[in-house]
Chain A
């Protein structure tokens, strides 16, 4: 197989897998006579998507907005925290146990507390999205800062570089690939956070829509909700994967070149 047909196959492969899953699913539902309130067929789910597209669109855009606002706060806070941890050993040592502890709390458990403080609705969804998304960003930025070569630091310090110079000239650019890689993870987590909060405490959003559908036994609509969440997750992931590739080509280009040379 030559290189270009290999690449084409790589491009269509995800679609083939998705199509395969849907076909097997449809066939299974039809052949085994699975009833729609246990597992609706893809065709039925698609029907629900068409039938309810108005409310779905409305709730989905609400969820998307909550996710994005929470995620934006997560970026701001995560980068700040990452820079602080990454540039001061003392702060790192001090904060480490707290951060580990915080990260091991299942965030679902925090939502009731947030409801207590922020009430039912949008602020809670945004806060949950934020809480889930900032951590990977902070960890990655800090890791990126920590990978600056000590020799380079010596070279710059012997030129009279301040801590600020080191951060802006070397630390942050070096941390960029880590930062963008973490965005892909974080945006997905922000989605999860928003949907969880909407399911527990909201009157809007995809999470709420699914809860409603479930209480009314509209199972295809529930699955349509799951489908929309997955779709939004994939779409935002791809957007950030693309941004990552554009912004930090220098970190991967060397590798790509080598790979091309080898093939």
Chain B
């Protein structure tokens, strides 16, 4: 297995030398084709981490490399999806999903002459998430779960080598969420793109990921790494497997401990003040 994403002692400070330190001493390594999840307390810098890996923000210290090259500007091989589906309300679903093709080379130059091929690809993808009958509906005619499926399609249409997901299912109800775990897993299993998923849901992390990174409170760094050696495809049944429960428990304890420590720290600060 070759390494695909690597962070070395990364620090990120917002707003000048006196600003908020969001990350410090963060190191991680993710193999090609691996599904990684990042969990940690709120505000510990998970979203910031995503921006560093994709090159949207520069690191303050340390280095990030993707596919063996140091990241110095926005990468172009990435697909991204956030909690907010951000579909374009003036476009029907199909052309929303095809938006990245209008931007990423080499598709951008080929789109017009190979429109049939690309449209077929987009329809195919919509079919895998069960949206084939909605391709000419506008986003506001769809439920939140459907919009999020379309968002997933949009992040995958240009067949990125790296998929970045920041709490993509955070706003969905439990049933829809579990259903989309299955959808995402099956797409990932057929394509094997490297994936980094930020989530608050430990069961989601354990269901989807090969490896889970647990981050400390701000300034965030990786304090534990868990391998999830459960067979694929995982199902909802898997979540009742003792091994699964054990992993979720272990991570939950770690995060509870982090929160306790920061509470104690806050009380100390209060006393000093």
Contacts and interface: CB of A to CB of B under 8 A. Distances in A.
Please say whether chains A and B are actual partners in one complex: yes
Interface of A: 149, 151-152, 154-161, 165, 169-170, 173-174, 176, 248, 250-251, 253-254, 257
A158 B89 contact: no
A160 B103 contact: yes
B14 interface: no
B93 to A, nearest CB: 13
A155 to B, nearest CB: 5
Contact of A158 (B75, B99, B105, B141): B75
Contacts of B154: 155
Contacts of A151: 82, 84, 86
Interface in B6-50: none
A30 B75 CA distance: 79
Contact of B89 (A155, A156, A157, A250): A250
A255 to B, nearest CB: 9
Of listed B76, B86, B99, B140, residue having the most chain A CB within 10 A: B86
A253 B78 CA distance: 33
Contact of A159 (B76, B82, B84, B90): B76
B204 interface: no
B55 interface: yes
Contacts of B63: none
Contacts, number: 68
B103 A169 contact: yes
B104 A160 contact: yes
Contacts of A156: 99, 103
A152 B82 CA distance: 9
Interface in B150-169: 154-155, 158, 164
A41 to B, nearest CB: 50
Contact of A173 (B56, B79, B88, B138): B88
Nearest to A254: B140
A159 B140 contact: no
A157 B74 contact: yes
Contacts of B56: 154, 157-158
Given A158-B54, A160-B104, A169 B76 contact: no
Contacts of A257: 140-141
B51 interface: yes
Contacts of A160: 74, 76, 103-105
Contact of B78 (A159, A169, A176): A159
Given A169-B102, A169-B103, A254-B140, A158 B88 contact: no
A1 B36 CA distance: 59
A251 B89 contact: yes
A165 B74 CA distance: 15
A25 B86 CA distance: 54
Nearest to A258: B140
Contacts of A158: 54-56, 74-76, 78-80, 164
Interface in B96-130: 99-100, 102-105
Nearest to A176: B90
A154 B103 contact: no
A159 to B, nearest CB: 5
Contacts of B90: 173, 176, 248, 250-251
Contacts of A176: 90
Given A165-B103, A169-B103, A155 B74 contact: no
23 contacts: A152-B86, A155-B82, A158-B54, A158-B55, A158-B56, A158-B79, A160-B76, A160-B103, A160-B105, A169-B99, A169-B102, A169-B103, A170-B88, A173-B88, A173-B90, A174-B88, A176-B90, A248-B90, A250-B89, A250-B90, A250-B138, A250-B140, A251-B90
Given A151-B82, A154-B51, A159 B104 contact: yes
B126 to A, nearest CB: 18
A176 B89 CA distance: 12
A248 B138 CA distance: 13
Contacts of B55: 158
Nearest to B102: A169
Contacts of B80: 154-155, 158
Contacts of B158: 159
Contacts of B76: 158-160
Given A149-B84, A151-B86, A253 B140 contact: yes
A254 B137 CA distance: 12
The 7 closest A-B pairs by CB, nearest first: A160-B76, A254-B140, A152-B86, A151-B82, A250-B90, A158-B54, A158-B78
B159 to A, nearest CB: 12
A149 B78 contact: no
Contacts of B140: 250, 253-254, 257
A180 to B, nearest CB: 13
Nearest to B86: A152
A251 B88 CA distance: 11
Of listed A152, A160, A250, A257, residue having the most chain B CB within 10 A: A160
